Structure 1
């Protein structure tokens, strides 16, 4: 039997080529995702940038530390504390001090991320003058890079300046250097400074009021020192999600392909059983074939994946999904994991299908060779039912326990896989009635398509499976994000009652003079608000951060409609806080201990409680409980009878030409729509693109494999008088019917998944609107249909070039 198995590999090369392609591509995808995930586990060692040549850096405290029974819990402060005057005075006693100040600068024709510094700090990078000289007066600057030359006049949001020098770029920032005096005017607070002194003496002088940084720790004084760790977290999430989806699709398609390859050989198994082969011999023969094909295909897939991983890394860096330093490292475990996973899946897929073939009696096998009589085995029915019940039970538990869990990315990406697998396993139950419904037109072609799909359910199900996965994944993932984005936009719309929203151009927010001019606009009531954060210790060990807005209650009530569950907005004062239902303690009147954005501990009374919503219902405090926060948004309400156009003109005049933007309510809602997040969108398309490309190839692969068994059927049609065009039209109609059935099942799975999210949003007091991505679903189904039709008709056209009598004589 082993020799028979090996010879079968040569005689049925189309079937085994299809299995080889499916498995090698699946293993390649697993290898690529594994290598990318392994390479994103660590970042290269990064040294100090702006202060590489500085002796000692003193930096204000930017971390909250809360002692708990299980040790200190830490979190970054929303508003790091500046160095106090007393601390600066103590440090000055030890040696020469250079105060560092950083602030955003906006200028026409300049890089968007331009940042200002005092000239004295340029030597610590160190920066070297390439042309010109250092700035000497308040209207002179020196810039890095070559985007401006000495003598150029710049109009900035800090006033007009003239470039007098350029510095060689260091690659980590686009900087503009002003005189120390001018920098002190623009940024009076000192958050960090350099001192030439003994580090131990500096630590003794500052105590716990500041951080003393030396050596490689000086990088903590750079802008965004945690960007590498944040990039790693984002990449791990991206490649982990992509790897999970890829593993699911790969395993699903490979197991389905190998099972179909074995099912295609029922006629051969029937002859072997008639000739005296035992069930065990047939099973061993199939497993040997799967072992040979699986070993070769898995090895080829590992080699292909090792070649493709660097290409993926280059693409994600180019697309901005990964930092410039990201490359694929030297890792071997992803190749081992992918190889053995592919081999195991191929053996399991072949073994499951061969079990039924081996236990069938010879006469029954001969009868089944003509038509599919039992396509849904008890094991398949049991597994499909179990997965369906599991999906229903977990959905019910989430809806009754924590509906917000269904809105998390990991949940709405992983949950559809249960339902997709269950639908694919149980698909044969509905394929016959579904295909009969799709081919109910009274015509000869419709009758033939109906009967062919009904008698060849295994063949139809093999093509339906990848289409189902493709449509259901695209619909569920894109539909979930669209539904969630619609819900967030609905929340913003319901909450915003202001006629205008004014946002500043500078990161530092609006200054006091601008706010006075905005308040002076007649016929309006404004509500200046600030972004901040509060921390709370839950269960005595978990330090939880909540994003917050600081606002005066009166102005907030005039411009905002908060989704309150209990309490009232009028009860908010300097001794209270508005929380949401996600907080552990959220009863009106309760007192909670919190840490404010600058780390100040406070005990506040709960004035009101908001509904949970989509997770964006944060916390509200008064400006007094947001030390260090600057106004970054001003909502403007109109008095009765006030003309909006007049107010808009006055608001523009109040903020000045470069002071910010004045948006109407509708424009503000559009500008804050979640779909503007390019990185999230590209990451999702990467996940879907890899999975859908593989399933598209699987559609072609399965169709070609199925076409290899249709030669005798085509010959019978030709001998019965059908023309070549009629046969090709019939072949195309059968492929379209299978694709349509798969698309409808995928659409059904999508609907069920989105119905779960819709229910969760309704329970969270959000007006939900299901966002079906019709364009993506249509494009996906059309692509599958084109691939299936071409893959079915091209082999048929080639086969029809032979005489019908020759085709009728084709044997396995």
Structure 2
């Protein structure tokens, strides 16, 4: 069978070239993400750093690890999904060849072994090309993370010898997983049915396809239901995974949509010959259209779910912070600021402090984590933050307040380290979980008295009604402090969060989105390359070459519309869930619609699909029709 697989590769190299490229990129992307993840998970910090600088570096590494973990999951999913879709399409294109093989005496098991052998060969070739390609992708990916301030400029990726075995497993694994379902289906089709395109060979919506499509849609619905009750940290992966599950389910069921779209096309273009031909081609080439739309569907769902989720969290964070801040000025200083300034009603000094909390699980195993706390005066803090619970009045002495997301309960004693001192702090208050960025821990200022973080203190100032804000600001500036209005401070905070979200989008979609675009182009090229005889028949019946190209362009446009429409539908449910979660947590009605990403991806889709389909159709119609119909031109 391996000899036959090699012969098939040589004979059908144009058909397998796209699959090899997809596996190569999948191996490269997964290998790169894994190597950077391992290096960032155990960083080597330079000696002599201050506690604040060391904590800032650790925060950056932690954010990079979280991002890389998400990217690794997305890259692995895209690799398996796209390879499976591509291989299913290539196997469907070869069903007549496989039928002839069955007629010459090959059994079902031999057909399955042939296809699995091809998958293993495909995986090995993809691995051999993917390992060196992964080194190139690694440089780009690391440079992207450094350029977006997730990793320090001196970050270097440490090579791991075991990555070669992992890459080989990834390459062969995704190829074999991708071909399993297609091999099983191909072996069950009767040879005569495949030759005449009847019965099981002509059926696209099989029982397993119905089952898997409904299963994924059911999983997506479950995730949408769970998202509103989750915290903001859990809401992001739940929403994205819900969109991905919905995208997979809709892509599996997309053959149901293609004929409907063809009929809609017929309503608009029924008087056009090219329109009627495109409608007929969509109706007869359901499998081809569904395979082309699948990677585009997933790409749209991924982009819209990520951008919509991050945008919704940013909007909710902006609204919640404005609702929970009752101040007029913000004074930033490295030292103490003047007290009893005329015109000031309340001044709440808030100093960020790095502290270490040690907790124990059921087996008394210690787990230590660094947290960023705020050292505050409870009384003044509660006055400028109206959503703070009244129980904050108990925040005195060796106490602390923490959000509900922590494992400790009211009254528990927590082992903590602040400013080099080992303390046991009693949980005096439980703070409500806040949207993306609110303080997770509050401690009295006397607890942080010996902390040498060197962090600047922000003092939120509320003025007496009728006081001159300019005069008050001038008094603080005289003492060397930096003063901004509360509106400017809130805008700067929201802008910083939105910039962070933009960086996250750039990392997650910069490479994985490009991978999906390559898959879209590959699907269009494979589909067009296998239609040379069909295009030749159309030209022999009287169509000009330009008309055939325009017909292919119309078909591709409809398929792209199907992919964008279903991808938008896949993202709509998870975005509704994340909107409800943020509304619950922020106490405001917030729903963010990612119009800019949607319009950008729509424009990019139209450009990519149009250019690719036109170039592919021009290439497929270059030989004279008579040579293709006679079986000579290739």
Question: Above 0.5 in TM-score?
Answer: yes
Q: Secondary structure at the match of 2:457?
A: strand
Structure 1 position 259, deviation (Å): 1.6
Question: How do 1:742-753 residues align onto structure 2 when only pairs under 5 Å count?
Answer: 742-753=563-574
Q: Structure 1 length normalisation: TM-score?
A: 0.68
- Change beyond 3 A, Cα 1:612–1:555: closer
Aligned to 1:381: 210
Instruction: Specify the SS of the correspondent of 2:590.
Output: coil
Name 2:350's counterpart in structure 1. Answer: 530
1:29 counterpart residue number: 29
2:193–2:201 Cα contact (<8 Å) kept: no
Is residue 413–residue 424 contact of structure 2 (8 Å, CA) maintained in 1?
yes
Q: 1:369 to 1:803 in 2, by over 3 A?
A: farther
1:458 is paired with a residue of what secondary structure?
Answer: helix
Give 1:699 deviation, angstroms: 1.1
Q: Quick one: which of 267, 278, 286 aligns to 1:440? A: 267
The reply on whether 1:421 has 2:245 as its aligned counterpart is no
Q: Determine if the alignment matches structure 1 residue 474 to structure 2 residue 300.
A: no
Query: Which aligned pairs between 1:530-679 and structure 2 lie closer than 5 A?
Result: 530-531=350-351, 547-548=373-374, 550-551=376-377, 553=379, 556-557=382-383, 559-562=384-387, 564=389, 567=390, 574=396, 580-582=403-405, 591=411, 593=413, 601=424, 603=426, 606=429, 610=432, 613-614=435-436, 616=438, 618=440, 623=445, 627=449, 632-640=457-465, 642=466, 647-656=468-477, 659-673=480-494, 675-676=496-497, 678=499
- Residues 752-767 of structure 1 aligned to structure 2 (within 5 Å): 752-764=573-585, 766-767=587-588
Cα pair distance change 1:770/1:509, threshold 3 Å: farther
* Structure 2 unmatched ranges of 5 or more: none
Q: Which has the higher helix share?
A: 2
Partners in 1 of 2:64 and 2:445 — Cα distance? Answer: 36
- Tell me, in whole angstroms, the C-alpha distance in 2 between the residues paired with 1:460 and 1:664: 56
2:532 and 2:620 in contact (8 A); partners too = yes
Instruction: Describe how 1:109-124 pairs up with structure 2 within 5 A.
Output: none
- CA-CA distance at 1:779 after TM superposition: 1.6
The answer to which structure, 1 or 2, has the higher relative contact order (CA under 8 A, 6+ apart) is 2
Structure 1 segment 67-146 matched on structure 2, within 5 A: none
How far did 1:464 drift? 0.9
TM-score of the pair, normalised by structure 2: 0.86
Deviation at 1:343, TM superposition (A): 1.3
Which structure is higher in strand share?
1
Deviation at 1:616, TM superposition (A): 2.1
Alpha-carbon distance, 1:262 to partner: 0.9
Residue 460 of structure 1: how far off its partner (Å): 0.9
Offset of 1:456 from its aligned partner?
1.1
Does the C-alpha gap of structure 1 residues 412 and 395 become closer, same or farther in structure 2, counting only changes over 3 Å? closer
CA distance in 1, matches of 2:352, 2:51: 22
Q: Cα distance, 1:708 vs. partner?
A: 1.1
Alpha-carbon contact 1:485-1:673 (below 8 Å) kept: yes
Number of residue equivalences: 618
* Residues 26 and 481 (structure 1), Cα distance of their counterparts in 2 relative to 1, 3 Å cut: same
Matches of residues 700-739 of structure 1 in structure 2 within 5 Å? 700-739=521-560
SS at match of 2:153: coil
* SS at 1:358 equivalent: helix
Root-mean-square deviation (CA, aligned residues, Å) is: 3.5
Contact conserved, 1:406 with 1:412, CA < 8 A, in 2?
Answer: no
The reply to whether residue 796 of structure 1 matches residue 617 of structure 2 is: yes
Where does residue 158 of structure 1 map in the other structure? none
Q: Is the CA contact (8 Å cut-off) linking 2:378 and 2:444 kept in structure 1?
A: yes
Looking at structure 2, the residues matched to 530 and 628 of structure 1 have their Cα atoms a distance apart, in angstroms, of: 15
Q: Work out whether 1:279 is the aligned partner of 2:108.
A: yes
Instruction: Give yes or no for contact 1:405–1:411 (8 Å, CA) kept in 2.
Output: no
Q: Report SS of the residue matched to 2:202.
A: coil
Which of 101, 111, 119 aligns to 1:290? It is 119
CA gap of 1:677–1:509, structure 2 versus 1, over 3 A, is farther
- Larger Rg: 1 or 2? 1
2:286 corresponds in structure 1 to: 457
**1:13 aligned partner:** 13
Seen in structure 2, the aligned counterparts of structure 1 residues 227 and 616 have a Cα distance that, compared at 3 Å, is: closer
